[in-house]
Amino acid sequence: MAMVSLTRAQARVLFSQSPVRAQESLELRLVSTPKSGFYYNTVLVPSKNGGYVQLSFEGANKFCTLGEMLVWAQGFVVEGAMQVSHLCHDPLCTVAAHVVRETAAENNRRKGCVVWVDCPHCCLKIRVCEHAPICIRYAPGYETLAEFLEWGLHT
Ligand SMILES: [Zn+2]
Ligand SMILES: [Zn+2]
Ligand SMILES: [Zn+2]
């Protein structure tokens, strides 16, 4: 059997048109380490050009960014003025649900967002993030993001 070798364009079609395949590639091909219960970070290092982690597959060298694959895994593509925006502000995160498509302006407004502060009166957190969907920042004491959002924030 001949070795499969794909062009970058072919690899982009292959993954951008199949959310299941994109998600499988994130789970099976990327070596990720859990980070503080909320995140999984790739151990791949960003390329020097632009600082993005880029992915390769079957001869298609660096055919997409990690961010693109995360968007494809949700069944979307990034086109035109839209950007890949990491809600957890971590470009190495490999959780598809932490990524949305939004404009450069919306993406930039998330920069420096601290998401929540400690309540001075109790152990809950006060949301200071005004973005939708909410930015993601780890809060000690919660196993998952869902648990934190359910029980950790002042309403
Ligand atoms: Zn994340
Ligand atoms: Zn309180
Ligand atoms: Zn925010």
**146 located within any domain:** no
Host domain of residue 96: 8-110
Read off the pLDDT band of 51 (50, 70, 90).
Answer: confident
Please report which confidence band the pLDDT of residue 1 belongs to, taking 50, 70 and 90 as the band edges: low
Closest C-alpha to 67, from 41, 34, 94, 30: 94
Q: What are phi and psi of 144, to 5 degrees?
A: -140, 165
Residue 115 lies in a domain: no
Asked if the structure places residue 40 within a domain, the reply is yes
How much is the average pLDDT of 124-140?
94
What's the structural domain count of the chain?
1
Cα of 48 from ligand 1 centre, angstroms: 21
Cα of 45 vs centre of ligand 1, distance in Å, is 16
